[in-house]
């Protein structure tokens, strides 16, 4: 070994001790990989208490909530706690100008008053199995990717079918460590989930966009639901006869608080991280992808913001849409800053250099080529990935009329039977009603006028949809598009569907919104998807080799954990403040004092409900105050979390609930790509503040009574 190499190698080993708490761990492997470290940090129980198939354990009180969040069970009657921002869509959909639960909050007075939510689910993990051996048997590393994919899919369908035969369970298998391992998850999904309580947005979303992804924080980001089951405690579609679900485990709730450096863990479903990206990919995210996505959302947020500010109805209609657009928009901004500040590209390049040196030294010349292979693959990948990202922006987050219109394609199919037609018409009528509840045509048209030209300009010539270019080169294209479409007019459209016969297919096919939507999607399917998926496959297979090679060549670089993939994971770390910038030292918790300091009656973002104000002024905190008589609101820790962890339980060393994870600090938004233990912190709302709001603010004592509160 040369001296130079020795120094570099030592640097890597040194950094590995510093990032020891990084990671999102698989519950099944905690015993082997994490238990002793966790216990040395202050965890008082065992791995078996977190995940077990022989006895009830914490995993039986954690659910995947809806499509993208986590929730936890906090009573023996299926009471479920999640974030306000996770229940936001449901709270919004029950809200009207007369009964505005977003603004006023909602508290069901009894079980009967709890509100059902179409389509909302809560999914438990019944058990996890390591199926790596079965999945990978006889698959040689040199097998072509397409062949490998088809073997893997066939095995997934066989194994999941077998695992769920004669049960009401579902199962999925996902790759871990980029396909070097596979785990199967057997799940049980409940479908009758009712809204129980939500604070007003001035508590649940206090600070709104200005405070989102920020510390210090004073947001009571929680809402409550209840899982209902049939009389056998099994999942069932909504029915008045369903009863509260009796869980195998629910979290006891600690009123004892926590101190600096106490152990904490977060248990939930982090959605996606990319910790092993090569330097070239990180560079692309910072320089090209994030700026373009941010620019498009800047534009739509300005239009939506103006519309919401001037109209109470639009304010409700666009609340959930605005939140979802702005959440990622702000995160990308923080991520770009953070990655630049820590010189993420430089660090990745350095790692790749050391990797190559080590590969050469150990005679692994094929591994030594990996960074060069990445460079050439990403050269091909970037423009297609970019076109895909832009399509997502315009089609899923841009003007809504396109996606809505395109949903009518099914009606244009030839040879629909009478019964198929009748049920399709019913479906379309329902869809139309729910779409227009939250639709404001002039706002949508403004978004179209602004965003479509941006989208078209952003694309390389080879992947541009020519028909749309032509259309948008014409006079007042957005105005024309809405004029020549029926999909922005509820009355006309409803009448059209009611009287629809297959002879009228042409009316749909000739509709401008429908035509533009179709050319958008066709152009993507023809020009982008095929080359994108081909290069993506090549990258996937390189990732698999790189992951294994990294672990082999640089075993001490870090304690390797698999990227988040929306499966159940445990993160743990200490409760701790941080220093975001030179000279700024942030405390690890906030109190209600900060709510009063931020209060601004002229701003919707920092409005404080008068009842909350007077409870704080009179320090009427009851049993929820800490030993200094203060009420803590939020706290931060080193738990490595991601989107999807929203609503996850924050748990102390005794397995009791101390808070609810809901966010990360501004400097931490980069942690999906590079976690830095010095500055990455997750943000949790203190469970005592949650209880205080339920009890003292809302007077919903029936809910407090069904919880198990623990006070030493
Ligand atoms: N607040 C975040 C979200 O909405 C949670 C996180 O990513 O830490 O995705």
The catalytic residues are 85, 221, 646
- Residue 21: per-residue pLDDT: 78
Q: Look at residue 712 in the predicted model and tell me its pLDDT.
A: 87
Q: Which residues contact 145 (CB under 8 A, 6 or more apart)?
A: 537, 538, 540, 541
Query: Which pLDDT score, from 0 to 100, does residue 141 have?
Result: 86
State in Å: Cα 92 to ligand 1 middle: 19
304, HSE (Cβ side, Cα atoms, 13 Å) = 27
The ligand 1 atom at the shortest distance from the C-alpha of residue 644 is: 9
CA dihedral over 465, 470, 472, 478, signed as positive or negative: negative
Task: For 64, list phi and psi in degrees, rounded to 5.
Answer: -80, 120
Confidence (pLDDT) at 5:
38
Gap from CA of 180 to ligand 1 centroid (Å):
28
Cβ of 211 closer than 6 Å to ligand 1, yes or no, is: no
End-to-end CA distance of the chain: 57
What is the model's pLDDT at position 2? 37
Q: Is the CB of 662 under 6 A from ligand 1?
A: yes
Rounded Cα–Cα distance for residues 704 and 708 (Å): 8
pLDDT at 7: 38
For ligand 1, say whether the CB of 327 is within 6 Å of any of its atoms.
yes
> Using CA positions, which residue lies closest to atom 1 of ligand 1?
663
* Inter-residue contact 616 to 579 (CB < 8 Å): no
Residue where the block lists tokens 């999904």:
189
Q: How far is Cα 654 from Cα 480, in angstroms, rounded to an integer?
A: 63
User: Where are the chain's structural domains?
Assistant: 27-121+191-268+570-710, 279-307+326-553
Distance separating alpha carbons of residues 479 and 483, to the nearest angstrom? 6
Give the span between the Cα atoms of 54 and 455, in whole angstroms.
54
* pLDDT attached to residue 8: 41
Cα distance between residue 219 and residue 592, in whole Å:
10
Q: Is the CB of 646 under 6 A from ligand 1?
A: yes
| Helix (H), strand (E) at residue 156 | helix 145-164
- Between the alpha carbon of residue 508 and those of residues 249, 273, 307, 486, 511, the distances in Å are 52, 41, 29, 9, 5
412: exposed, middle or buried (Cβ count in 10 Å: 0-12, 13-18, 19+): middle
pLDDT by 10-residue block (mean), the chain, 712 residues: 38 40 95 96 98 97 97 98 97 94 97 98 98 97 90 98 98 98 98 98 96 97 98 98 98 98 98 98 98 98 96 94 95 96 97 98 96 98 97 98 97 92 96 96 98 96 92 97 98 97 95 98 97 96 97 95 98 96 95 98 94 98 97 97 98 98 95 94 98 98 98 91
Residue nearest (by alpha carbon) to ligand 1 atom 7: 643
Q: What are phi and psi of 121, to 5 degrees?
A: -130, 160
Domain 27-121+191-268+570-710 in CATH 2.40.10.120? The answer is: yes
**Going by CA atoms, what residue is nearest to atom 2 of ligand 1?**
663
| CB of 270 shorter than 6 A to ligand 1 | no
Q: What is the pLDDT of residue 113?
A: 98
Q: Measured from the CB, is residue 642 less than 6 Å from ligand 1?
A: yes
- Is the N-terminal amide bond of 216 cis, ω within 30° of 0? yes
Ligand 1 centroid, distance to 398 Cα (angstroms): 21
Cβ of 641 below 6 Å from ligand 1: yes
Rounded to an integer, what is the distance from CA 350 to the centroid of its chain?
31
3-state secondary structure 348-382: HHHHHHHHHHHHHHCCCHHHHCHHHHHHHHHHHHH
pTM to 2 decimals? 0.92
Q: Which atom of ligand 1 is nearest to the CA of 668?
A: 8
| CA 77 and chain centroid, separation | 27
> For the residues of 63-124, what is the DSSP string, one character each?
EEETTTEEEEE-STT-EEEE-HHHHHHHHHHT--SSS-HHHH-EE-SSGGGPEE-TT--EEE
Q: Which residue has a Cα nearest atom 9 of ligand 1?
A: 643
Neighbours of 2 (CB within 10 A): 9
Note the pLDDT of residue 607: 97
Q: How far is the CA of 708 from the centre of ligand 1 (A)?
A: 28
Q: Is the dihedral of CA 141, 147, 148, 149 positive or negative?
A: positive
With residues binned 3-state (H G I as helix, E B as strand, rest as coil), the percentages for the chain, rounded to 5, are: 50, 15, 35
Distance from Cα 331 to the centre of ligand 1, integer Å:
9
Ligand 1 atom 4: residue of nearest CA: 643
Residue 88: which residues within 8 A CB-CB, separation 6 or more?
102, 205, 223, 319, 320, 323
- The whole-angstrom separation of Cα 590 and Cα 396 is 36
Distance 222 CA to ligand 1 centre (A): 13
**Confidence (pLDDT) at 399:** 98
């Amino acid at each position: 070994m040369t001296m130079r190499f020795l120094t570099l190698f030592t640097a890597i080993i040194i950094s590995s001790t510093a990032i020891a708490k990084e990671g999102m761990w698989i519950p099944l492997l905690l015993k082997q990989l994490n238990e002793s470290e966790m216990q040395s940090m202050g965890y008082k129980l065992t791995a078996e208490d977190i995940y077990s198939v022989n006895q009830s354990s914490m995993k039986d009180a954690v659910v995947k909530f809806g499509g993208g969040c986590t929730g936890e069970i906090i009573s023996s009657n299926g009471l479920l706690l999640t974030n306000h921002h996770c229940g936001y869509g449901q709270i919004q959909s029950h809200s009207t100008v007369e009964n505005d639960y977003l603004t006023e909050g909602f508290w069901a007075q009894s079980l009967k008053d709890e509100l059902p939510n179409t389509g909302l689910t809560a999914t438990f993990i019944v058990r996890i199995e390591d199926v790596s051996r079965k999945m990978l048997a006889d698959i040689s590393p040199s097998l072509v990717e397409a062949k490998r994919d088809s073997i893997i899919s066939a095995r997934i369908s066989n194994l999941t079918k077998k695992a769920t035969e004669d049960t009401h369970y579902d199962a999925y298998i996902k790759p871990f460590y980029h396909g070097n391992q596979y785990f199967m998850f057997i799940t049980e999904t409940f479908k009758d989930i009712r809204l129980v309580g939500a604070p007003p947005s001035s508590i649940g979303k206090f600070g709104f966009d200005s405070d989102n992804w920020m510390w210090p924080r004073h947001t009571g980001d929680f809402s409550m639901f209840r899982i209902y089951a049939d009389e056998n405690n099994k999942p069932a579609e909504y029915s008045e006869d369903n009863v509260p679900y009796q869980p195998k485990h629910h979290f006891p709730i600690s009123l004892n608080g926590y101190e600096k450096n106490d152990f904490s863990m977060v248990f939930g479903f982090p959605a996606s991280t990319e910790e092993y990206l090569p330097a070239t990919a990180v560079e692309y995210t910072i320089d090209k992808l994030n700026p373009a996505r941010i620019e498009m959302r800047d534009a739509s947020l300005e239009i939506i913001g103006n519309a919401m500010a001037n109209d109470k109805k639009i304010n409700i209609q666009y609340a959930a849409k605005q939140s979802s657009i702005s959440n990622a928009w702000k995160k990308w901004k923080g991520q770009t800053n953070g990655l630049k500040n820590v010189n993420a590209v430089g660090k990745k390049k350095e790692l790749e250099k050391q990797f190559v040196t080590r590969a050469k030294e150990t005679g692994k010349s094929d591994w030594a080529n990996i960074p060069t292979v990445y460079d050439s693959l990403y050269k091909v990948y970037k423009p297609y990935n970019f076109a895909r990202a832009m399509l997502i922006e315009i089609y899923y987050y841009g003007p809504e009329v396109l996606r809505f219109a395109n949903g009518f394609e099914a009606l244009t199919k030839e040879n629909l039977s009478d019964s198929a037609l009748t049920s399709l018409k019913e479906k379309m009528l329902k869809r139309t009603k729910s779409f227009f509840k939250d639709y404001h045509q002039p706002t949508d048209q403004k978004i179209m006028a602004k965003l479509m030209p941006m989208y078209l300009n952003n694309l390389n010539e080879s992947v541009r949809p020519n028909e749309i270019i032509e259309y948008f080169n014409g006079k007042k294209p957005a105005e024309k598009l809405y004029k020549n479409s029926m999909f922005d007019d509820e009355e006309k459209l409803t009448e059209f569907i009611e009287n629809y016969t297959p002879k009228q297919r042409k009316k749909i096919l000739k509709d401008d919104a429908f035509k533009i939507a179709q050319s958008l999607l066709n152009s993507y399917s023809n020009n982008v998807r095929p080359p994108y998926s081909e290069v993506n496959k090549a990258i996937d297979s390189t990732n698999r080799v790189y992951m294994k090679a990294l672990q082999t060549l640089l075993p001490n670089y870090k304690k390797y954990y698999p990227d988040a993939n929306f499966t159940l994971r445990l993160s743990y770390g200490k409760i701790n403040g941080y220093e975001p910038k030179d000279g700024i030292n942030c405390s690890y918790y906030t109190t209600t004092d900060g709510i009063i300091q931020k209060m601004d009656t002229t701003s919707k973002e920092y409005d404080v409900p008068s009842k909350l104000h007077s409870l704080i002024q009179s320090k009427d905190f009851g049993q929820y105050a800490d030993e200094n008589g203060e009420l803590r609101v939020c706290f931060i820790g080193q738990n490595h979390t991601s989107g999807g962890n929203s609503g996850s339980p924050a748990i102390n060393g005794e397995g009791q609930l101390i808070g609810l994870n809901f966010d990360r600090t501004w400097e931490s938004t980069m942690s999906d790509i590079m976690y830095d233990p010095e500055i990455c912190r997750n943000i949790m709302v203190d469970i005592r503040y949650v209880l205080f709001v339920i009890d003292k603010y809302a007077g919903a004592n029936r809910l407090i009574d069904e919880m198990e509160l623990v006070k030493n």
